């Protein structure tokens, strides 16, 4: 029975390791999806900054073109004003020239505003481009690391499952059924240390006689509170071990 209890302990250890590996294998693709999603968010932010900068530049170009048209119009109006035959015609040309010049000033003011707005946009785009280049490199490295880790985990998982399967076949039918039942109930924690006189899982003290039986019995024993399989691991006399003949 001692050998079988050791086998049960190993089975539980393997089950916990298998659960851990399965959880990590399932989590790795989610991890990749998360970093790729973050990269895409940063990329969209960069595209938005680029679009804002391009719109700024288009507006500046349009205003500069409009001002050129107004300047050409002013030059033409001045030529016409010189040919005016009456004061009314002269004042009309003068009024039109003032209007055009006012439009030019408004355009120039707006161009200055756009230039001020463009400075932080340009800085944001430069920073984002540098940051995104590094982030893409980091993401590719992380994806390669995750692929390697996933392959390694799958190899360990196959080995653990194989060992667990072989070991489980060595258990008696009664022990195997008890282990499966208790493991399902307690999510893989079917075996508990009771060396200090209490169940290491539910922390309930064992009856004195039951504890004595656990220390000496060859039969499989269960916690009377939670039902887990109990084991007793006597302390090692280190001083005796150090002075034992070799």
pLDDT of residue 9: 93
Structure tokens of 124?
């944001």
pLDDT by residue for the chain (246 residues), tens only, comes to: 578 899 999 999 999 999 999 999 999 999 999 999 999 999 999 999 999 999 999 999 999 999 999 999 999 999 999 888 899 999 999 999 999 999 999 999 999 999 999 999 999 999 999 999 999 999 999 999 999 999 999 999 999 999 999 999 999 999 999 999 999 999 989 999 999 999 999 999 999 999 999 998 888 999 999 999 999 987 654 454 444 554
pLDDT of residue 123: 94
Q: How far apart are alpha carbons 236 and 211 in whole angstroms?
A: 19
* CA neighbor of 152 nearest in space, from 242, 24, 243: 24
Neighbouring C-beta atoms of residue 244, cutoff 10 Å: 8
Neighbouring C-beta atoms of residue 74, cutoff 10 Å: 18
pLDDT of residue 164: 96
């Amino acid at each position: 029975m001692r050998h079988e209890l050791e086998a049960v302990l190993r089975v539980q250890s393997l089950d916990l390791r298998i659960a851990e590996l399965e959880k990590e294998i399932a989590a790795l693709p989610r991890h990749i999806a998360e970093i790729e999603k973050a990269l895409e968010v940063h990329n969209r932010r960069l595209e938005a900054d680029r679009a804002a900068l391009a719109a700024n530049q288009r507006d500046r170009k349009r205003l500069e073109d409009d001002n050129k048209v107004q300047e050409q119009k002013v030059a033409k109006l001045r030529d016409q004003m010189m040919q005016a035959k009456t004061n009314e015609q002269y004042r009309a040309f003068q009024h039109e020239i003032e209007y055009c010049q006012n439009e030019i000033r408004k355009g120039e003011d707006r161009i200055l505003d756009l230039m001020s707005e463009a400075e932080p946009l340009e800085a944001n785009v430069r920073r984002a481009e540098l940051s995104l280049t590094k982030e893409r490199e980091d993401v590719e490295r992380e994806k390669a690391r995750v692929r390697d880790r996933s392959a390694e985990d799958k190899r360990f998982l196959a080995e653990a499952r194989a060992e667990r399967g072989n070991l489980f076949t060595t258990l008696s039918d009664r022990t195997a059924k008890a282990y499966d039942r208790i493991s399902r109930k307690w999510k893989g924690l079917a075996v508990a240390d009771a060396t200090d006189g209490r169940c290491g899982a539910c922390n309930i003290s064992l009856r004195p006689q039951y504890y004595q039986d656990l220390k000496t019995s060859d039969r499989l024993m269960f916690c009377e509170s939670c039902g887990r399989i109990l084991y007793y691991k006597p302390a090692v006399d280190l001083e005796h071990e150090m002075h034992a003949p070799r």
